[in-house]
Amino acid sequence: MSEAVRSDVVQGDVVQGEPVRSAAVRDEKSRRRQMLVRASIYIAGTHAFAGFVILLFALGNRH
């Protein structure tokens, strides 16, 4: 068999003709996902803190 015909054979990271993904590509996608999760947590935390401060000002303004 020629190499072109054997593209569906399991070799290393290749499974049934899927492209080879290097460890660097997987690592980059993992880091990007971690960054998005971290940014989402920071944004949510910042908004919660800002809401608390606004609540304090609203309660302080009542007296």
Instruction: Render pLDDT for 25-62 as a digit per residue (tens, 0 to 9).
Output: 888 999 999 999 999 999 999 999 999 999 999 999 98
Q: Is residue 4 part of a domain?
A: no
Q: Is residue 40 part of a domain?
A: yes
Task: Look over the chain and give the mean of its residue pLDDT values, rounded to a whole number.
Answer: 81
The total number of structural domains that make up the chain? 1
Q: Is residue 11 part of a domain?
A: no
Domain ranges, residue 37:
22-63
pLDDT tens readout for residues 3-24? 555 445 555 555 566 566 788 8
Q: Is residue 51 part of a domain?
A: yes
Q: Is residue 58 part of a domain?
A: yes
End-to-end CA distance of the chain: 87
SS (H, E, C) 15-38: CCCCCCCCHHHHHHHHHHHHHHHH
Q: Is residue 14 part of a domain?
A: no
Q: Is residue 43 part of a domain?
A: yes
Query: Model-level pTM greater than 0.85?
Result: no
